[in-house]
Structure 1
Amino acid sequence: MPTATLTSVLPILDLSDFTSGDAERQATFVTRLREAAHHGGFFYLRGYGASPAQVDAVLQAARDFFALSDEQKHAVHMAQSPHFRGYTAAGDEITRGERDWREQIDIGAERSPLPQDAAAPAWTRLQGPNQWPAGLPHLKPTLLAWQDTLTEATSHLLHALALALGQPEDRFDAAFADTPVQHLKVIHYPGRAQGESRQGVGPHKDSGCLTLLLQDTQAGLQVWERDGPGVAPGAGRWIDAPPLPGTLIINLGEVLEILSNGYLRATIHQVVSPPQHVDRLSVAFFLSPRLDAELPELVLPPAQAAQARGVDRDPQNPLIAHTGRNLLKGRLRSHPEVAERFYADVLETYGVKRGDAARAYV
């Protein structure tokens, strides 16, 4: 498959244009955001509110965690958490039936588990506390502060997206009020020798609303461009999205594709493993509406409605408008050990077979 390597293929936006209070800068940002979200679904973002010192602290905390012994990391293994929180070793997470060569720790909002009884939907089990490794007292405050910083940035982005879609600026506020789903993945991609699988993480769409990705200095993220200048009809190509200092990578998740009937695009992407003796770090933040939210499709302005492409229909990845059910679908298929330990009673409901709980997207 062809690959484009020019950084300029992905647009670069500056969130401070929207938060500046200057009407002209705000309008320009909304226009550029509409174009980026409609055509590619991926872009770089500057001015999102984090200081260089905070970025350095987050990446150092990631290095500190992955420098722990296997015994220390496995003490907080995800297999112990019905909330899909904790450590996953390289090869233990699956995308499209193949093992991803990355290790990671998953962190969410620090909330108490929701009450469970026979009538409680399975997706309510997703809420609960994190697992924190002993011996790294700075990890918790550093990552939760990062989560707060990016939640605020995402709130501004959602206001701008609402305006870009011809909606009131506060259109999404109620769905994200009080208990939005906050999810951090702190990820380490070990290098791989020539001849080994290069799947750091396989091709997938994100199941939430917006993803904000911090990358270190090692490239590896690729975005699937299925149409555009220089792309033959039906061919598509992978676009490299290398790190740019001072930026995050932003991409849209399935929730926004569903709400806009495909006017906004949740785009397939992957990570290619670095070469042997080279490591890659990234910190991905995913924000979704409250677990119980089921948002109705937006009524778009006529010109945008005419450009809506419809929601992608993939038999391996059915999209569900309800937040909790859509998120649980992805978790069950990616983490078979957790699925079979804590969700055996609902696997068939979500189209997952016992002993085979990993057949679709992250």
Structure 2
Amino acid sequence: MAANFSSVPILDFALVSDPARKPEFILQLRHALINVGFLYLKNPPVARKDIDALIDYIPRLFALPQQAKDSIRMANSPHFLGYSKLGAEFTKGKTDYREQFDFATPHETQWRPGAPEYLRLWGPSQWPDEDQLPGFKDTMERYLAQVQSLSYDFSRLLAEAFSLAPDALAHFYDSDEFMQHRGKVVKYPANDGSLSDQGVGPHYDAGFLTFLLQASAHPGLQVQNLSGEWIDAPPIPGTFVVNIGKALEFATQGLARATSHRVLSPPIGSTPRYSVPFFQNISLNARLVDEVLEFPPEVLKLKELRGEAAATDSVNFTEFDREPSGKVNLIGRVKSHPDVAERHYPDLFKQIFPQGLPAQVSAY
């Protein structure tokens, strides 16, 4: 019988700076990584004034004229960065009822003709016109930089939780100038009764770690426990929700657990739900099948004690056993944004969609 969970644990980052209590945090983190795959992180080291400023911008970002939003639509970008209108993304063959902007940390694309196509996945963001939303770009980039720093600190804590050296995961990342991490600003409008309640369908995240700011008081995030039940993860002020991505699960041979999750739309008559996920990437060239981490027997035993999870509703990012990280991520983006892929990755688009752009796709 698998170990199970009925709620998402809350960890206090303030314990990390207290030598007497840091071991307590590490043990809590080990439990969350192995048995849950999700946690709330209280007191994250990100300036509250920047979080509040970003939250203040979000309704104004989505209130921009449609023409302004369309001018930075994702279809313009081979990096899958920019604006996606309501209903433009798909998960498991159903429309995701959300509107969103994808931004990323600053990066100049490393792709050149003849290089692997997946290197085009990273590159400059598209930003709203500064005159229409003054200060937003600076605020968003300042926020992303702080969460990026937190994500690297957290990776070192994660290594400690597995009884590895603090830098045991460092070789999965390139130097800063060759790395890019992605963020989204997402609006889930209230269900209008014409579609399902799928804000975003069941899925895994691709990279190592995701840090989610639930930027309004609406519930909707749910995580799937080991017996397949959906557990609510409602907003808790002053926290991030942190979850494990499929790359980290693969790199740790399943010791860290990627957990299936979804978002339900706010009910009819509600105000919109807003959220800001940050996706920590690893090197585009990393081949996880070639990287073997050696864990102490007592840590590996914890995986056995957890047991096997029941079948989940998520099946994405299964190619890490044969493809570099960049190719796995590119396949995921092509499947969930076929209109972008048709324009910028025509060969891969034809492989995945030989009949052309579908009216509905079986995606993530």
Q: TM-score, normalised by structure 2?
A: 0.88
For these two proteins, the number of residue pairs brought into alignment is 344
Aligned counterpart for 1:359 among listed residues 348, 357, 362: 362
Aligned counterpart for 2:349 among listed residues 347, 350, 355: 347
Bigger mean CA offset, 200-209 vs 338-347:
338-347
The whole-number CA distance in structure 1 between the counterparts of 2:143 and 2:187 is 18
The whole-number CA distance in structure 1 between the counterparts of 2:111 and 2:308 is 37
Structure-1 residue corresponding to 2:93: 97
Aligned counterpart for 1:240 among listed residues 225, 232, 235: 232
1:273-352 alignment runs, 5 A limit: 273-277=265-269, 278-295=271-288, 296-306=291-301, 307=303, 317-320=317-320, 322-347=324-349, 351-352=352-353
Deviation at 1:339, TM superposition (A): 0.9
The amino acid that maps onto 1:70 is Q
Structure-1 residue corresponding to 2:202: 203
Query: Relative to 1, partners in 2 of residues 1:315 and 1:173: Cα closer, same or farther, differing over 3 Å?
Result: closer
Query: Is structure 2 residue 152 aligned with structure 1 residue 150?
Result: no
Deviation at 1:275, TM superposition (A): 1.6
Structure-1 residue corresponding to 2:161: 164
Bigger mean CA offset, 126-135 vs 193-202:
193-202
| Cα RMSD for the two superposed structures | 2.3
Deviation at 1:317, TM superposition (A): 4.5
Deviation at 1:51, TM superposition (A): 3.0
1:263–1:310 CA contact under 8 A, matched in 2: no
The whole-number CA distance in structure 2 between the counterparts of 1:310 and 1:131 is 42
2:316–2:332 CA contact under 8 A, matched in 1: no
SS in 2 for 1:347: helix
Deviation at 1:310, TM superposition (A): 8.6
SS in 1 for 2:196: coil
The whole-number CA distance in structure 1 between the counterparts of 2:109 and 2:249 is 29
Identity score, percent: 37
The whole-number CA distance in structure 2 between the counterparts of 1:310 and 1:289 is 27
Which 5+ residue runs of structure 1 have no aligned equivalent? 1-5, 228-235
Structure-1 residue corresponding to 2:80: 84
Query: Is structure 2 residue 191 aligned with structure 1 residue 192?
Result: yes
The amino acid that maps onto 2:285 is D
Query: Is structure 2 residue 109 aligned with structure 1 residue 113?
Result: yes
Structure-2 residue corresponding to 1:219: 219
SS in 1 for 2:346: coil
The whole-number CA distance in structure 1 between the counterparts of 2:326 and 2:317 is 15
The whole-number CA distance in structure 1 between the counterparts of 2:13 and 2:171 is 22
1:6-25 alignment runs, 5 A limit: 9-18=7-16, 20=17, 22-25=18-21
2:200–2:263 CA contact under 8 A, matched in 1: yes
The amino acid that maps onto 1:274 is P
Aligned counterpart for 2:70 among listed residues 47, 68, 74: 74
SS in 2 for 1:251: strand
Which 5+ residue runs of structure 2 have no aligned equivalent? none
The whole-number CA distance in structure 2 between the counterparts of 1:79 and 1:253 is 26
Structure-2 residue corresponding to 1:125: 120
The whole-number CA distance in structure 2 between the counterparts of 1:259 and 1:310 is 18
The amino acid that maps onto 2:140 is L
Runs of 4+ in 1 over 4 A off after TM superposition: 308-317
SS in 1 for 2:349: coil
Aligned counterpart for 2:261 among listed residues 269, 272, 277: 269
Deviation at 1:173, TM superposition (A): 2.0
| Residues 118-153 of structure 1 deviation map (CA, whole Å, 9 limit, x = unaligned) | x21111111211111112131111111111111111
SS in 1 for 2:142: helix
Structure-1 residue corresponding to 2:32: 36
SS in 2 for 1:32: helix
The amino acid that maps onto 1:175 is F
Bigger mean CA offset, 298-307 vs 100-109:
298-307
The amino acid that maps onto 1:206 is D
Aligned counterpart for 1:249 among listed residues 200, 220, 241: 241
Deviation at 1:352, TM superposition (A): 4.7
Query: Relative to 1, partners in 2 of residues 1:112 and 1:162: Cα closer, same or farther, differing over 3 Å?
Result: same
The whole-number CA distance in structure 1 between the counterparts of 2:32 and 2:326 is 27
SS in 1 for 2:363: coil
Deviation at 1:92, TM superposition (A): 0.3
Deviation at 1:207, TM superposition (A): 0.7
The amino acid that maps onto 1:255 is A
Q: TM-score, normalised by structure 1?
A: 0.89
Structure-2 residue corresponding to 1:231: none
2:219–2:234 CA contact under 8 A, matched in 1: yes
The whole-number CA distance in structure 2 between the counterparts of 1:208 and 1:315 is 15
The amino acid that maps onto 2:117 is A
Query: Relative to 1, partners in 2 of residues 1:57 and 1:315: Cα closer, same or farther, differing over 3 Å?
Result: closer
Structure-2 residue corresponding to 1:3: none
